Amino acid sequence: MANEKLNKPIFISGVIALVILVFIFSFYLFLYNPRFYDHQYSQNGIYQTFSYDETWNATTELWNYMHFRIDELSDFYSTQDKLHMIDVRNMIRTVSNILYVCCIVFLLSLLYFYSFNREEFAFWLYNVFFSASTLVFILLVFFVTLCFWFTQSFTLFHTFVFTNDYWLMDPAVDKLIQLFPEQFFYSIFMDILGVSLLFAVVLFGLSMYVKKRYM
């Protein structure tokens, strides 16, 4: 009985960690992706507002700032931009920490079942893949519905995540909103959902493979 009580929280922790990893990995596929940014800049007319070199110098500076390679943004960005990017960088660091924690939790869950419940390992592997893929599918349905009210959801997200109003910017002054209009975030949101769907399909396929091969 004690073993069953121990297994259930470990199993649930493994599933939740894997689901979070799916979305974070999908997020990171686009966060520093030059091809994605270049496509968005072309689609949103950014190269008509700034020159190509100016656009990419500004983008590289942001990436370096979020990677903690530089401590302060240049005067290309407004004071409002800089204040908001402090919050964004802290958010990125939090996401990175969550990524590391989830990797550790999932690996510990896997190692526990492999080392101490070897006879249940295939059963665990099937269930964790199947449960994670199912949960991702359910969350994707929810997130897709948000797309119909993306502006409202985007505003609510900022209100919830940030404790100040530095994210409220003036398009005539603040370079961040000129470089990254709402359409940019809508596109990255949709692409993250698309990649997460692919991950979910892969997890579902793995669960079926494990079931057929080892159970």
Are 169 and 81 a contacting pair, CB within 8 Å? yes
| Structure confidence by residue, pLDDT tens digits, 85-124 | 999 999 999 999 999 999 999 999 988 888 876 777 888 8
Tell me whether residue 51 is in a domain. no
Are 30 and 36 a contacting pair, CB within 8 Å? yes
Residue 15 has pLDDT above 80, yes or no: yes
Reading the block at residue 54, the tokens are 């100016």
pLDDT band at 4 (very low <50, low <70, confident <90, very high): low
User: Domain count of the chain?
Assistant: 1
Rg (CA), the chain: 21
Tell me whether residue 35 is in a domain. no
Q: Give the whole-angstrom CA distance, residue 136 versus residue 159.
A: 25
Tell me whether residue 204 is in a domain. yes
Q: What is the 8-class DSSP label of residue 119?
A: G
pLDDT band at 6 (very low <50, low <70, confident <90, very high): low
Tell me whether residue 32 is in a domain. no
CA distances from 162 to 80, 147, 167 (A): 14, 21, 8
| Average pLDDT taken over every residue of the chain | 92
Tell me whether residue 53 is in a domain. no
Are 83 and 166 a contacting pair, CB within 8 Å? yes
Tell me whether residue 34 is in a domain. no
Are 66 and 89 a contacting pair, CB within 8 Å? yes
pTM of the predicted protein model: 0.92
| Structure confidence by residue, pLDDT tens digits, 141-162 | 999 999 999 999 999 999 998 9
Tell me whether residue 122 is in a domain. yes
Are 110 and 17 a contacting pair, CB within 8 Å? no
Tell me whether residue 55 is in a domain. no
Residue 147: domain span: 2-27+70-214
